[in-house]
Amino acid sequence: MKHCLRRCALGLSLAALSLMALQQQHVQQPPATVAPEDPKLPNGKSQKDEILKAEHDQNIKDAQQLSDLAQQLQQDLEKEDRFVLSMSTLKKTEDIEKLARKIRSRLRHN
């Protein structure tokens, strides 16, 4: 009986030690990685902020141009016969698509 109790005590001791080792592994987490600092321009402003501002300004200009092209397309379509499509009208639709893709890619990039 004593022999059995010793084995049980030894088994419980080993189980307790392994449990403590597992708990310490969970407590010790790797140090958090520090994010690289945002590079600054010579004038002291954030490079990322300046890029975002320039992209925003370009999106506004492109959207205005897109609106103008859409109005021109509408006027061309109203002038033309339903059986005739001019090459300039087709070119405007391609320009509209290109501008829309540029704007969309800049917005997705952000």
Distance CA 76, CA 86 (A): 9
- Return the axis-axis angle of helices 87-109 and 47-79, rounded to nearest 10°: 160
Percent of the chain with pLDDT over 90: 38
- Average pLDDT estimate for 55-73: 95
| C-beta separation of 92 from 74 below 8 A | no
Arithmetic mean of pLDDT over the chain: 79
Percent of the chain with pLDDT over 70: 66
Q: Which residues, 6+ apart, have CB-to-CB distance to 74 below 8 Å? A: none
Q: What are phi and psi of 81, to 5 degrees?
A: -75, 155
Distance CA 73, CA 64 (A): 14
Nearest alpha carbon to residue 69 among 101, 100, 92, 99: 92
Check residue 42 and give its pLDDT.
Answer: 84
